[in-house]
Structure 1
């Protein structure tokens, strides 16, 4: 088994230069539909504009949303639209937004727009017709655009917005998402993951918001540990060394990362192809 190293650190500040940014297409807010627009772009209001990206799942490694977020980094004000939960049906995956995702957005000064899926269809893909799986899930667009309008007029930092959003609206949004999935079940007949377990999860968060943080961080740490013990054909390890990071910052965030490889040279650790794994 390859050796496993663990590094800890503290981030005092974040500076970066975008090298491969794109020219973003622009859409007016009054006609913006999160379900029809591309994964990232610019939203324009009569007085200002804001860059956006959207996630198709709250799990960061499901669809690699950081690639879309990266394309918005050159903008002065940036939002990202994230579903609080995505249930693909009893025979599919179910993912929930994690506290560590909030920490990453706080660190990068990105405003979070919470979203939930309002409609869906039974999957008719080959091999899935007889399974309980959903496809073509669509966000509640008005719920999304209302938050975007609020952020356009908001004058404090993304940290303040995200903190208030999750302390004051997260549980209500999560309940809306669960109610919406009940409606989707009634419309499609697709059996979903048990709501009882999700209600218990939400009840813990209602009783103590800090529990949301604890549950999420434990999951992130476990994912990082699993990744460091795994190798696959897309990884090239010169000396077999893999490592994990746990990094903290002034905002109270804790970040668990796993690089593809670590090489020691001249008493310096060189980390290659760092990727997000939790």
Structure 2
């Protein structure tokens, strides 16, 4: 099923953001090694909420959950994303996608496109690296630029795209140095340079390339049911158009049809607990931010009323009596978040709103 929609703005109040630790800018390196999200104090005058992605790929290490935790901060929200992450020949290699930056723009999050400068050799694999570290000086310079930047996150992020080719070249040079120093063979430099050259040709080329890759990934996901998802409805592609005419390609885990209403469902599943982890729930809530703000939702040209649903399932038979106190607190806050932002939460097939916690 192909679903199309528009989004003209984001209105959302998060309830599950954790309390963020405060670090000074001089301690940025330590902060990046200890926390996925934190408050950065800048010379005692201003503060920003900063998160960072381990990889450019959004399915690794819960980057959405890290971004989510910064959304309740009233000042500027910033996230650092590596343009490339190469773990070596025996590991993965991921590249930044335009759609990731587009999503951050929709959320009002300033993106710093970074690169890894240092790493350690894996003790288990001959051609794999670990503990990769950003170029801290470069990140600090970009943070200082954001402090004095007067336009919104969208315009900042577009300017970051303009520098993507240059940053990509620097990243490849750093990986060459890491490879020489550690004696670790990396993935093909030729294929990486081809991707980087696409970025150098400019913003529009990068956007087009990333959209094509996102569209292919969207099509793959729409026909593949992941083992972690316990779903029963129709899987769908979801194409969202923003007020500037940009397109974002997502998948909808499940779509249910009821008269003139379409339930757009994001599923999260746990094999080890009665409900999914807090990080999984936050990951799903980032989709709720989008789904709850959709307008003009259409299927084959016909418009329907959309209702966003976060569906939580597990391999265990659900019983409220078996919930831990920490899980009850999570569900209480989740219930408030759903009520405030007009989306549904289902646990198995039960409506969280009808549950007394």
Q: Common fold, TM-score beyond 0.5?
A: yes
Greater Cα offset, 29-38 or 246-255: 29-38
The 5 Å alignment of 1:2-13 reads 5-13=1-9
Tell me the SS of whatever aligns to 1:202: helix
Cα 1:41–1:268 shift into 2, 3 Å: same
8 Å CA contact 1:80, 1:111 repeated in 2 = yes
Residue 133 (str. 1) matches residue 134 (str. 2): no
1:29 partnered with 2:11: no
Deviation at 1:138, TM superposition (A): 1.1
Is 1:206 matched up with 2:204? no
CA contact (8 A) 1:80 1:113 kept: yes
Q: What TM-score do you get using the length of structure 1 for normalisation?
A: 0.90
Shift in Å, 1:209: 3.0
How far does the alpha carbon of each residue in 1:212-269 deviate from its partner, in whole angstroms, 9 at most, with x for none? 111111111111111121124432333x411110011023432112122111123211
Q: Residue 228 and residue 163 in structure 1: after superposition, are their counterparts in 2 closer, same or farther (change >3 A)?
A: same
Greater Rg by CA:
2
**For each residue in 1:63-92, what CA deviation from the matched residue of structure 2 results, as whole angstroms up to 9, or x when unmatched?**
220111001001121000111100011121
Q: Which runs of 5+ in 1 are unaligned?
A: none
Indicate the residue corresponding to 2:298 in structure 1: none
Question: What secondary structure is seen at the aligned counterpart in 2 of 1:166?
Answer: helix
Tell me the residue number matched to 2:118.
119
In structure 1, what is the Cα distance between the partners aligned to 2:259 and 2:128?
53
Q: Does 1:155 align with 2:154?
A: no
- SS of aligned partner of 1:24: coil
Structure with more relative contact order (C-alpha pairs < 8 Å, separation 6 or more): 1
Report SS of the residue matched to 1:63.
Answer: coil
> Could you tell me the TM-score, scaled by structure 2's length?
0.71
The CA distance in 2 between the partners of 1:18 and 1:78, in whole Å, is: 14
For the structure 1 residues 85 and 233, does the alpha-carbon distance in structure 2 shift closer, same or farther, using more than 3 Å as the test?
closer
Contact 1:228 1:242 in 2 (8 A): yes
Q: Which residue of 1 aligns with 2:98?
A: 99
Aligned residue pairs, count = 267
Partner of 1:55: 53
Match of 2:177 in 1: 183
- 1:170-206 superposed Cα distances (whole Å, 9 cap, x missing partner): 2221111110001001101111112122222222332
Q: What RMSD over aligned residues (CA atoms) do the two structures have, in Å? A: 1.8
